[in-house]
Chains A and B, each alone.
Chain A
Amino acid sequence: MTVINQVVTWLTDPAQWSGPDGIPVRTLQHLYYSLLATAIAAAIALPIGVFIGHTGRGALIAVNLTNLGRAIPTLGIIILVFTLAGFGIVPVLVALVALAVPPIVTNSYIGVRSVDRDVREAAEGMGMRGRQVLWQVELPVAMPLIMAGIRTSAVQVVATATLAAFVGLGGLGRYLIDGLSQRDLAQVVGGAILVAVLALLTELVLGRVQALVVSPGVAGRGADAAVRAKVEKAA
Chain B
Amino acid sequence: MTDSAAPVLAAELIRWEWVGRHLDDIRDALVQHVELTGLALLFGLLLAFPLALSAVQWPRLYGPILGVTGVLFTIPSLALFILLIPFTGLQIQTALIGLTIYTLLILVRNIVEGLRGVDNDVREAAQAMGYTRARQLFQVELPLALPVIIAGVRIATVTTIGLVTVTALIGWGGLGQLFIEGFTLNFSTPIVVGIVLSALLAFTADLLLVGLQHRLTPWARSGGG
A70 within 8 A of B: yes
* Chain B 112-133 interface 0/1 with A at a Cβ cutoff of 8 Å (1 = within): 0100000000000000000000
**Chain A neighbourhood of B172, CB < 8 A:** none
| A71-B198, A71-B199 as given contacts; A232 in contact with B78, CB under 8 Å | no
A200 within 8 A of B: yes
* Chain A 161-196 interface 0/1 with B at a Cβ cutoff of 8 Å (1 = within): 011001100000100110110000100110111011
B44 within 8 A of A: no
Q: What's the minimum C-beta distance from A94 to chain B, rounded to whole angstroms?
A: 13
A79 engages B183 (CB within 8 Å):
yes
Interface size class of B (residues with CB under 8 A): 35 or more
A208 within 8 A of B: no
**Chain A neighbourhood of B203, CB < 8 A:** 71
Q: What's the minimum C-beta distance from B91 to chain A, rounded to whole angstroms?
A: 15
How far is A67 from B153 in the complex, measured between Cα atoms in Å?
12
A75 engages B165 (CB within 8 Å):
yes
B76 within 8 A of A: yes
Option from A67, A180, A199 in Cβ contact (under 8 Å) with B158: A67
A162 engages B76 (CB within 8 Å):
yes
**Chain A neighbourhood of B83, CB < 8 A:** 189, 192
How far is A65 from B71 in the complex, measured between Cα atoms in Å?
25
B192 engages A72 (CB within 8 Å):
no
How far is A12 from B148 in the complex, measured between Cα atoms in Å?
46
**Chain B neighbourhood of A77, CB < 8 A:** 195
Residue of B nearest to A188 (CB): B82
Option from A73, A167, A176 in Cβ contact (under 8 Å) with B162: A73
B148 engages A75 (CB within 8 Å):
no
* Chain B 73-99 interface 0/1 with A at a Cβ cutoff of 8 Å (1 = within): 011111110110110000000000000
B183 engages A82 (CB within 8 Å):
yes
* Chain A 73-101 interface 0/1 with B at a Cβ cutoff of 8 Å (1 = within): 11111011011100000000000000000
Interface centre among A76, A155, A189, A193 (most CB of B within 10 A): A76
Residues of B within 8 A of A (CB): 13, 71, 74-80, 82-83, 85-86, 110, 113, 148, 151-152, 154-155, 158-159, 161-162, 165-166, 168-170, 175-176, 179-180, 182-183, 186-188, 191-192, 194-195, 198-199, 202-203, 206, 225
Question: Could you give 19 example pairs across A and B, Cβ below 8 Å?
Answer: A67-B154, A70-B155, A70-B158, A73-B179, A73-B198, A74-B162, A76-B194, A76-B198, A79-B180, A84-B13, A159-B76, A163-B166, A166-B169, A176-B82, A180-B169, A188-B85, A196-B79, A232-B110, A233-B225
7 nearest A-B pairs in the assembled complex, by CB-CB distance: A192-B79, A71-B202, A159-B76, A76-B195, A73-B165, A232-B151, A80-B191
